[in-house]
Structure 1
Amino acid sequence: MTPESQVLSVASWLLVVTFLQLALYPSLKKCLKQYAFPASFAASLLLFTILTWYCGLARFPVQFALVPFVLLFAYHLYRRNYTWVELKKEWRWELIFLIFFSLMLTVRFVNPTISYAEKFMDHAFLASIMRNPVVPPLDPWFAGGTMDVYYYLGYWIFGCLGIVSGVPSNVAFNLSLPTVLGVAAVTVYAIGTLLLNRFRWLPLLLFFIPNPSLFYQLITGSSISSALWNSTRTITNTINEYPLFSFTWGDLHAHVISIFNQVLLIFLLIYLYKFWDTLESRGRWLICGLAALSLGSMPLINTWDVLIYAPITVLVAVLIIWQGWKKGQGISSWSQLIAVPPLAIIIYLPFYQMLTTSTGGIAIVRTPSDPFQFLLVNGWFIAIFLLFLLKDIRGRPYLLLVAVPFVLAGYTAAAIAAIPLIYFLAKKEHSVPDLLAIFGLALLILVELFYLKDNMGDTYFRMNTVFKCYVPAWIILGISSLSMIGAWLSRPGRVPVMPARKSTALAILVVGLLFVVPFLVPLDLNYGSRTLDGLAYLDSSHPGDAGGAAYLRNLTGNEILVEAVGGDYTYYSRISSFTGIPAVLGEPFHEDMWRGDTTGWYSTRPADVRSIYENPDQTVALMKKYNATLLYVGDEEKETYNVSLPSTGIERVYSGQGTDIYRLAE
């Protein structure tokens, strides 16, 4: 793609995102007041998502989902709800979104390639949805299968944004994470504004601070790139990512996409907790409806999140009800809260009816985290909490005994988290940061004691549990600890108020430096850069596949592809990944994790693909077995198989740079 077309893609994408947000924003003003503008970023995305999802379920064009937004926008125009005076008041929120969007866009510009880690999978799902936006979406790595074995809604969100904005998947891939970060940042800033009178920007640091392990790696001699990676593999046989790594690494993966939705739910719960008594019934229903939409989207975006945030939502509701009970309020005043969990299930009920995957249940952790490694990951938060609790610890040292049972049972890391937890629980009055600390610390302890069974084997038995729970823990604990610091700094006499001109100059300097950093740090890992086209690197590194993929991406209609089957996390399965056209089999280990091998496909499909390439007498028959229409022969196929194709039954439709594509003759 030319630079000009990429600029147009960014503009078109932002135009759609901004239109969705502005269309919804006035509808939230009455109940969310000054927070309506920032909340409408994430809320409009979720509303757009559910509308497009039901369009896909009903086999309607997803563009129909824009109609309610157009009508809403027209209604607010007619009612003159968009005035220049009102919109000027919201410039800070828009600026926060654009700064973080642009910052992440710069990172993707430096490191755009769809080329390693989970990027092949992420783009495969995105491209499949954009080729054929139906529910459930087609599985690009398992011909005849669908994505009802995986949580795919995050890819659906950005695939549909790509469709309505006219942005191709190879660029939409690199606009998605900037959108996630921009929306998440504006919501976190809203949380900071809710909790702090000054230093409202401090919670935003949760996106920038690394864990202590990164500094430990650097001190012990690791290079910057290896230290960054090793800091997320600190706890033995697990993954402990944090936002700074996740965003710079650049996988458009479910655990990263979900961040914008997590912080929206946190914002909504805090708002309900603080202002429940002042809200009218209509406002309560609206905010609880948004909370239900957010919570209900979690199983489809990143299922692990709902296991964390559903209990938190219930606990916040219990706290609100308890406060109301003490004031003599009746059950009628809590009906909206009680409705949130069932509404969260009902809004995406067809998803659960189609879902075919399952988990192995809960088990007890027998080899918990090494306490030193645990602190290398969570040490900032533990240290901050202990500093703020120092007076309480001196006053009631006997509460330290809560750690003893954990230590005796061999769960020393859990004991470390239990110490600040018990002191927060023992407080007579709990601020919102206190409650967040309680939720986050309890999550860390639970992850030390229990894990969800999967098929990762005995060595990596708790890898996914730590991986998927530590990102929410980082967000919750980050908001909590940074808000505590902000409140402390805001006390009279701590930090003098800086003149507006100086604070503005300092902010511009810091933001400017942030934009320079991606060009100084080697983020591209020796792949292509300086573009937003995630497939541009193919022109130089794999010219045969560049032409072949470009040809296939221009095809429309229902196609099924035969390509070489190889190992996961390699260059194999690349054509289905680049095009979204389903292959007979993509990455086998991923598919085995998702759907299991109940029919014996794990051995049958690779053997059939080999026969298609090597046994010309079976090529046509086996292609028909899988309804395959296209046969791809590139460098990977020639290296993997002794390619011998029939002279009849297939016809060559593309040839270039050593790559041939054949179509099954009708």
Structure 2
Amino acid sequence: MQNRTEEKLLIPEYQILCVASWLLVITFLQFSLYPLLKKILLQYAFPAAFAASLLIFTFLTWYCGLARIPVQLAIVPFILLFVYNLYRREYVFSEIKKEWHWELIFLIFFFLMLTVRFVNPTISYAEKFMDHAFLASIMRSPVVPPLDPWFAGGTMDVYYYLGYWIFGCLGIVSGVPSSVAFNLSLPTVLGVAAVTVYAIGTLLLDRFRWLPLLIFFIPNPSFFYQIIMGKGLNSVLWDSTRTITNTINEYPLFSFTWGDLHAHVISIFNQVFLIFLLLYLCKYWESLKSREKWIMCGLAALSLGSMPLINTWDVLIYAPITIVIATLIILGCRKRGQNISSWGHLIAIPPVSILIYLPFYLTLQTSTGGIGIVKTPSDPFQFLLVNGWFIAIFLLLLIKDIRRRPYLLLIAVPFILAGYTAAAIAAIPLIYFIAKKERCIPDLLAIFGLLILILVELFYLKDNMGDTYFRMNTVFKCYLPAWIILGTSASVMVGAWLARPGRIPVIPVKKSAVLAIFVIGILFVTPFVVPLDLNYGSRSLDGLAYIDTTHPGDAGGVAYLRNLTGDERIVEAVGGDYTYYSRISSFTGIPTIIGEPFHEFMWRGDTTGWYSTRPADIKSIYEDPDQTVVLMKKYNATLLYVGDVERETYNVSLPSTGLEPVYSGQGTDIYRIAG
């Protein structure tokens, strides 16, 4: 059996080929859809086609998986569309040449993130085991609902998995293995998100269109506070996201640098895409023809409808935002005396967003514990260390309004009296934005973002995190969208302020280009200078390359298992979450009896008693020869893995019959049930 060090995965040329194949598929999807959007979105068609094509591809592959047909068939409609566009001569070189800057933005951010992943590619800590386990499971068996690699016999209908489905199917179509696809996924998320955010900047600003891109680069104020307090650089980044007591306060720079391919990060590209669509509808609704309105609202419904499957928390935020913006457009139409036919398309967005993925809701097995009232709100100083940039910008820009109507500051009093001082801080700029006689689009975004901060101070969604971390998930999952919305709003406001006459003169094109190249150069060098590898760096795009040296026994066993196809289930040692346990199911996607127990408990609860039964059965499989085969058959397990971790955890004693050795090397043995 070949060792992983002899595999082509470790050959640099093969990894380059993987990147090229991955980008080729993404570019083909985007180019196929672009002409369809050209007459509707005009100059924004090219950037919008990145996210739109990815969501449509996902939708098609998901239904292929539901129908149990090859997901590769989802590429066929794009091929037909591409041929049709060629026949109609839609690809005009002179027009495409004008779009080069959009493609450049995507590639810059893609390769910038790829550099970060190259420096620290390992699937080795935090949520990376889970992220790759889901990705690998989908690529092994792309069916809906996907198989749960950590709960043999179960499926992922207890979790929002569509983000992993997106990149698993991209990996299948492009021929990229899961351990490399893992490290190409976040670059894709950032590239698509960046080009969409730049489109938002172009939509709302005449100058300084790049300013909204800063939401991906700026750390929160706590980052600098940690440095001032003398903390080491290796802990500053982490501690800045644990600022508000017993919560998580991530921001994009941390999320992308940390590198978990987790649902809340994957969802960023779809969040900014929906924001772009809604803002475009706000600005150009009346100029769109009926067919164009249907297409735009259809894209909005697809984006909104994908949210519950990618990261369910997002829909709790963006569904109300969509309804509010649609209502504002409708009220504007009614004010101008337009009939229902001019705004009926907007009414269709919410129901269509549910209908397009209706089978998901019909099979969903998870539930929430309801809404609770926060009794220990955020410390106001900690609150400002997380959200201070936006609050400060808003207050500075609102200073004239505050001087004109100081009595509105009284809005803070009831919050303070009730003990919600942090909410009072956010309420001050909120009331002034609401009180404006004429509100612009950035004002509207600010209102949405500030409302998120206030609501999170008052309420939380109940889960299984216990009394201490009762609001951790609520703050965690709501603060990232709040950062995106508030950051977009604040940056656009600052851009508009800087563009006023007499502020900052227009910089010549050549000087702007030199400055841009200099900044981009620094960004690409930074990952090699700043210690981002966390002692796991292996300078590769293969996220499993590191086990060749750290766990050579597992390296060979994993290589053997990753080459297996068909319906397999494996037995491996069970231990604590966020450890090296569950590594075989995580690295291969082959379902195990139980992977990380607390994760599964969070998703499934323990109504059947599996939380104690499954670990006990695994122990018996390894230690009681009379029970080994019997218990393996109980879970339909076909393979038994015995490596260093299993020998350290159990007193391994296997039966002399009933198992056939299929692999042995460097202290690792794999057995298959006989017959």
Report if TM-score (shorter chain) is over 0.5.
yes
**Paired-residue identity, %:** 82
Which of 619, 632, 635 aligns to 1:623? It is: 632
Cα RMSD after superposing both structures: 0.4
Give, in whole Å, the separation in 2 of the partners of 1:596 and 1:145: 13
2:520 is equivalent to residue 511 of structure 1: yes
Aligned partner of 2:426: which letter? A
Superimposed CA distance per residue, residues 165-196 of structure 1 (whole angstroms, 9 cap, x where no aligned partner):
00000000000000000000000000000000
Match of 1:72 in 2: 81
2:571 is equivalent to residue 528 of structure 1: no
Superimposed CA distance per residue, residues 280-335 of structure 1 (whole angstroms, 9 cap, x where no aligned partner):
00110000000000000000000000000000000000110111111111122111
**Structure 1 unmatched ranges of 5 or more:** none
8 Å Cα contact 1:528-1:536 kept in structure 2 = no
Match of 1:93 in 2: 102
Aligned partner of 2:156: which letter? M
SS at match of 1:651: strand
Match of 1:16 in 2: 25
Match of 2:574 in 1: 565
Aligned partner of 2:15: which letter? Q
Question: What are the within-5 Å matches in structure 2 for residues 130-169 of structure 1?
Answer: 130-169=139-178
Give, in whole Å, the separation in 1 of the partners of 2:234 and 2:460: 30
Match of 1:117 in 2: 126
Aligned partner of 1:354: which letter? T
Question: What are the within-5 Å matches in structure 2 for residues 230-629 of structure 1?
Answer: 230-629=239-638
Question: What are the within-5 Å matches in structure 2 for residues 23-38 of structure 1?
Answer: 23-38=32-47
Give, in whole Å, the separation in 2 of the partners of 1:399 and 1:493: 32
SS at match of 1:528: coil
SS at match of 2:669: strand
Aligned partner of 1:446: which letter? L
Give, in whole Å, the separation in 2 of the partners of 1:647 and 1:527: 40
Shifted more, 222-231 versus 409-418: the winner is 222-231
Displacement of 1:238 in angstroms is 0.3
Give, in whole Å, the separation in 2 of the partners of 1:529 and 1:193: 39
TM-score by length of 2: 0.98
SS at match of 1:655: strand
Give, in whole Å, the separation in 1 of the partners of 2:391 and 2:233: 25
SS at match of 1:509: helix
Which of 665, 672, 675 aligns to 1:656? It is: 665
Displacement of 1:529 in angstroms is 2.2
Aligned partner of 2:580: which letter? Y
2:177 is equivalent to residue 181 of structure 1: no
Displacement of 1:417 in angstroms is 0.1
Give, in whole Å, the separation in 2 of the partners of 1:93 and 1:224: 34
Match of 1:644 in 2: 653
Give, in whole Å, the separation in 1 of the partners of 2:531 and 2:640: 38
8 Å Cα contact 1:363-1:450 kept in structure 2 = yes
Aligned partner of 2:456: which letter? V
Give, in whole Å, the separation in 2 of the partners of 1:277 and 1:80: 29
Displacement of 1:528 in angstroms is 3.0
Displacement of 1:551 in angstroms is 0.4
Aligned partner of 1:151: which letter? Y
SS at match of 2:557: helix
Match of 1:221 in 2: 230
8 Å Cα contact 1:576-1:583 kept in structure 2 = yes
Give, in whole Å, the separation in 2 of the partners of 1:275 and 1:4: 47
Match of 2:14 in 1: 5
Superimposed CA distance per residue, residues 103-136 of structure 1 (whole angstroms, 9 cap, x where no aligned partner):
0000000010000000000000000000000000
Which of 61, 66, 82 aligns to 2:70? It is: 61
SS at match of 1:536: coil
SS at match of 1:663: strand
SS at match of 1:146: coil
Number of corresponding residues: 666
Give, in whole Å, the separation in 1 of the partners of 2:652 and 2:533: 35
Superimposed CA distance per residue, residues 349-382 of structure 1 (whole angstroms, 9 cap, x where no aligned partner):
0000000000001111000000000000000000
Aligned partner of 2:212: which letter? P
Displacement of 1:501 in angstroms is 0.8
Give, in whole Å, the separation in 2 of the partners of 1:225 and 1:428: 48
Aligned partner of 1:163: which letter? I
Give, in whole Å, the separation in 1 of the partners of 2:294 and 2:17: 39
Displacement of 1:256 in angstroms is 0.1
Superimposed CA distance per residue, residues 440-485 of structure 1 (whole angstroms, 9 cap, x where no aligned partner):
0001000000000001000000000000000000000000000001
Give, in whole Å, the separation in 1 of the partners of 2:363 and 2:607: 18
Aligned partner of 1:609: which letter? I
Displacement of 1:30 in angstroms is 1.0
Superimposed CA distance per residue, residues 215-269 of structure 1 (whole angstroms, 9 cap, x where no aligned partner):
0000001111201000000000000000000000000000000000000000000
Aligned partner of 1:267: which letter? F
2:204 is equivalent to residue 201 of structure 1: no
SS at match of 1:532: coil
Give, in whole Å, the separation in 2 of the partners of 1:538 and 1:58: 37
Aligned partner of 1:34: which letter? Q
The 4+ residue runs of structure 1 with deviation greater than 3 A are none
Displacement of 1:139 in angstroms is 0.1
Match of 1:665 in 2: 674
SS at match of 1:460: coil
8 Å Cα contact 1:111-1:523 kept in structure 2 = yes
Question: What are the within-5 Å matches in structure 2 for residues 31-46 of structure 1?
Answer: 31-46=40-55
TM-score by length of 1: 1.00
Give, in whole Å, the separation in 2 of the partners of 1:506 and 1:216: 29
Give, in whole Å, the separation in 2 of the partners of 1:447 and 1:215: 24
SS at match of 1:369: coil
Give, in whole Å, the separation in 2 of the partners of 1:422 and 1:529: 51
2:138 is equivalent to residue 129 of structure 1: yes
Give, in whole Å, the separation in 1 of the partners of 2:518 and 2:382: 35
Match of 2:4 in 1: none
Give, in whole Å, the separation in 2 of the partners of 1:221 and 1:546: 40
